[in-house]
């Protein structure tokens, strides 16, 4: 089965600086890579995702890059703000061309702390 490794487990950055969280995956069949943000006591919320047919995707201050050859993908947050403080999870999954659902395999999470 799929195995997703996520680093670092904790990341502290100064407000306004950039933050980078990295993940690797093991199953070359994985082709969908979402990132979730979880605030304390709440369920995770999708913030950005990328599919294996693209190498990079941006949404305002957030970007994700994918290197299929190396089987790793990263989340980049620029101009960090206090509200970015949360736990971030990467995940991997195989999408089936004929439709179909499968569970995501999640990394263990990164606790991002934005220092004022």
Partner 1 sequence: DGGITQSPKYLFRKEGQNVTLSCEQNLNHDAMYWYRQDPGQGLRLIYYSQIVNDFQKGDIAEGYSVSREKKESFPLTVTSAQKNPTAFYLCASSIFYQSYNEQFFGPGTRLTVL
Contacting residues toward partner 1, per CB under 8 A? 1, 6, 9, 32, 34, 36, 41-46, 49, 51, 89, 93, 95-109
- What is the nearest approach in angstroms of partner 1 to the Cβ of residue 114? 21
We find the least distance from the C-beta atom of residue 53 to partner 1, in angstroms, to be 11
Which of residues 78 and 95 has its CB atom nearest to partner 1 in the complex? 95
* Nearer residue to partner 1 within complex by CB, 53 or 60: 53
- Reduced to 3 states, what is the DSSP secondary structure of residue 82? helix
Terminal Cα-to-Cα distance of the chain (whole angstroms): 41
Q: How far is the CB of 34 from partner 1 (least distance, A)?
A: 7
Least distance (Å) between residue 80 CB and partner 1: 22
Q: CA 113, CA 84: separation in Å to the nearest integer?
A: 8
Short-list 40, 31, 16, CA closest to 66: 31
If phi over 0 gives left and psi between -120 and 50 gives alpha, with beta otherwise, what is residue 6? beta
């Amino acid at each position: 089965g799929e195995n997703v490794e996520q680093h670092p487990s904790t990341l502290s950055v100064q407000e306004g600086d950039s933050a980078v969280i990295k993940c690797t995956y093991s199953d070359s069949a994985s082709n969908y890579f979402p990132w979730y943000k979880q605030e304390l006591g709440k369920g995770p919320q999708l913030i950005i995702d990328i599919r294996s047919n693209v190498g990079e995707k941006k949404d305002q201050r957030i970007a994700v890059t994918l290197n299929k050859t190396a089987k790793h993908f990263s989340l980049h947050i620029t101009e960090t703000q206090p509200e970015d403080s949360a736990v971030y999870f990467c995940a991997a999954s195989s999408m089936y061309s004929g439709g179909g659902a499968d569970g995501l395999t999640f990394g263990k999470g990164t606790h991002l702390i934005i220092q004022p």
